[in-house]
Each structure stands twice: as C-alpha cells, then as structure tokens.
Amino acid sequence: MARVDVTVRGGGIFGLSIAWACLARGAKVRVIETVAWGAGSSGGLVGALSPHVLEAWNAKKAFQLESLLMAADWWAAVEAASGLPSGYARLGRLQPLADLRAVEAAQRRATEAETLWQGRAVWQVVPATGAFWEPRSATGWLVEDTLSARLSPRMGLAALIAALKAGGAELVLGEGDEQGAVIHATGLAGLEHLSQAFGAPLGSGVKGQALSLRFDARDQPQLFVDGLHIVPHADGSVAIGSTSEASWTGDGPDAQLDGLLARAVAAVPALAGAEVLARWAGVRPKTASRAPALGGWPDRPGHFVANGGFKIGFGMAPKVAEVMADLVLDGRDAIPPDFRLDALLQKVTGRR
C-alpha cells in the first residue's frame, strides 16, 4: 500500500467498524492489532443488540436508537463486500413482567416508544402463550419489542475482516507503522493508557462471562430475563450471558457460568440438557461516564480515540463508525456531548 490515509489501532468491534466506514468512503486504511483479532471483549458470545429503557430519554439513548435502526443495512453492506454472514437478524426480544408494577411501567413505555422510536419499531405488552421459547412470567404478561436484534460477535468480526481485505485495507497483526490520521480503538489497554496519560482514572475493566449451548432456535427472538441475555444465533447455538464483575481472581471462565446456565434453564425449560459448546470470559472497558469516549486526543494532533463500548459496543458500532469517519475524514464533529472524550476528561480531571 503506497499511501495510508487512516491507521486504526485495535482489532475489536470499534476499530474494525471504523476502519470499514473509512474504507467505504475511499480512504486507504491500515489496521494494527497487536494481540489477536477480537482478542478483548469483542471476541465474546452474546451479541445482543438491544435498546436502553425509554425513561429519561437523552442523547446517548437517541444515538443508540439511530445505530440500531441503521444496523440492518450497515451489516448487509459488510456481508455483501465480504461474502460472509455476520449472523445479524432483527428478530426482537421478549421479557417477562414480574408483578403488576412492572406491567404498568411497561405499558407506559409502550406509549413513549410510539413517539421516541419514530414508528420504526414497537414496544408492547403481550400475553404469554406458553410457547416453548417464551420465558416464564409470574404475571402472564411479557414485553415484546421489535427493535432488538442479534449478531454473532465472532461471525461479525470475521465478516468485517474479510470486507476490509476485499476492499484493499492492510491488516497488520503485530506492530506496524502509523501513517495518516491515527484512531486508537484499543479497548481496556487503551483506556488504561489514557488514564496514565492524563494522570486520572478515566475508567476501569469489568469482567464478563458467557456460555454457548447447542440448541437451534435461530428464528426465535432473544430473551431478557432478570438481567440475563438468552440469544439464539444463526449457527444453531444459543448464547447466555453475562456476568458483571468489578473484581475477580482469574481471567478465565469459572463456576459462575454454572449459575448462569441454571438461571437460563429455569427461565426456559426447553434448554435443559443442551450441550455446552463454549465458555468465554473477557474484560470490558467501562469509562467513568459509562458512555463511549470519542473524539480527538487532546495535545496530539491527528490522533483520535474511540473507546468504552461497555456492554453496548456491537449495538453502537455502526453509528460510532460513521461519526468517527465524519470527524477524521471530513472534519465534521457530530459526537454527542455525553460521548466526547474532552467531556470525560473534564468530568474526571477538571481539565477544560
């Protein structure tokens, strides 16, 4: 490659998605990953692309809505360029309602969704029918939303890598030279590096664990039961996750996954006896604001940051990628105030 316009550091979902958005606009792109593609939290199993609750609507939730709505076309373009499936499908989500108070709150959210979701998706309260893929509900009522989608994290990353290669991007596994604008999308290691650079803790790692079962429910919606994601995937597996651990003694999967499995079977008895295909553990980067940190790196002209996709990285990726491409290639800054790196720095360090 004779000329590089953009160097992306990081081979996770933010880095690869931003590289694809820049490539699609005609930029010459180099991606550098020093460990392995999807080595961090992006290499997980769950792949639940789901909206935040509708109360206290803000810029973060509006940004996520835009990303979820654009995801089908965005991932279709990746699949067309790569010739590989991403596992994306917008099949919705079911959630059980535990008591009358939860039913009333869900009904209020249904009214809010009519306006906030622009008529492009529905949030509604529906009666349980006893179907094999419904979670048990103490009230006999469920929330059904048609905005939620699923994506196989590993298939999605493989499709992005293949699309980048097909488009002529240079992918470097190991160390490589930086040329052009440099985008740092290096997950937990990058968040720690930023904290060191600015002398203040800008965030931390949160360990998550998940597992995958052999159970073919590929045409069914995902389920969300008391904080637990149960997500059918296109390959005939069901992902279950995840834990959120602020402290831990080992980096790998542990006995907590047995508890996740027991909870999943209690919610959906049809899963009883399903073979465990994989167990996964990883550490997710969480900024001090809990929102992604995007924007130019202060005092480093030509350097940019895209970090902190804590739990919602795959759902946010299409919009994050386009916004970062706008900034880096066109100088157009459309980053929401709550997502700005300089706002995070001000919050943590008082720096303006």
Whole-number pLDDT of residue 2: 63
Over 90: is that where the pLDDT of 351 sits? no
For 311-338, how does the pLDDT look when each residue is reduced to its tens digit (9 = 90+)?
Answer: 999 999 999 999 999 999 999 999 999 9
Whole-number pLDDT of residue 352: 62
Cα–Cα distance measured from residue 17 to residue 38, given in angstroms and rounded to the nearest whole number: 12
Whole-number pLDDT of residue 4: 96
Count how many Cα atoms sit within 13 Å of the Cα of residue 200 in the half-sphere of its side chain.
Answer: 12
Distances in whole angstroms, Cα of residue 229 to Cα of each of 237, 242, 266, 333: 13, 7, 13, 34
Over 60: is that where the pLDDT of 1 sits? no
For 31-62, how does the pLDDT look when each residue is reduced to its tens digit (9 = 90+)?
Answer: 999 999 999 899 999 999 999 888 889 888 99
For 52-108, how does the pLDDT look when each residue is reduced to its tens digit (9 = 90+)?
Answer: 888 889 888 999 999 999 999 999 999 999 999 999 999 999 999 999 999 999 999
For 143-195, how does the pLDDT look when each residue is reduced to its tens digit (9 = 90+)?
Answer: 999 999 999 999 999 999 999 999 999 999 999 999 999 999 999 999 999 99
Q: What's at 16, amino acid-wise?
A: L
**Sheet-wide strand order for 181-184:** 170-173, 29-33, 6-9, 181-184, 303-307, 293-296
Helix axes 313-325, 13-24, angle to 10 degrees: 40
What kind and span of H or E run contains 139? none
Whole-number pLDDT of residue 60: 85
Over 60: is that where the pLDDT of 305 sits? yes
Are residues 174 and 261 in contact, defined by beta-carbon separation less than 8 angstroms? no
Three-class SS state of 104: helix
Whole-number pLDDT of residue 53: 87
Q: What's at 177, amino acid-wise?
A: D
Q: What is the rounded (10 degree) CA torsion for 73, 77, 80, 85? A: -70
What's the mean per-residue pLDDT of the chain? 96
Using the Cα atoms of residue 319, residue 320, residue 323 and residue 328 in order, give the sign of their dihedral: negative
> Which structure tokens are listed for 124?
């509604």
Residue range 238-267: mean pLDDT, rounded: 95
Q: Model-level pTM?
A: 0.97
- For the chain, state the CA radius of gyration: 20
Name the phi and psi angles at 99, rounded to 5: -155, 175
Could you give the domains of the chain? Answer: 6-90+147-203+289-349 (3.50.50.60)
Residue ranges in 10-152 assigned as alpha helix (H): 13-24, 59-82, 100-116
Are residues 41 and 311 in contact, defined by beta-carbon separation less than 8 angstroms? no
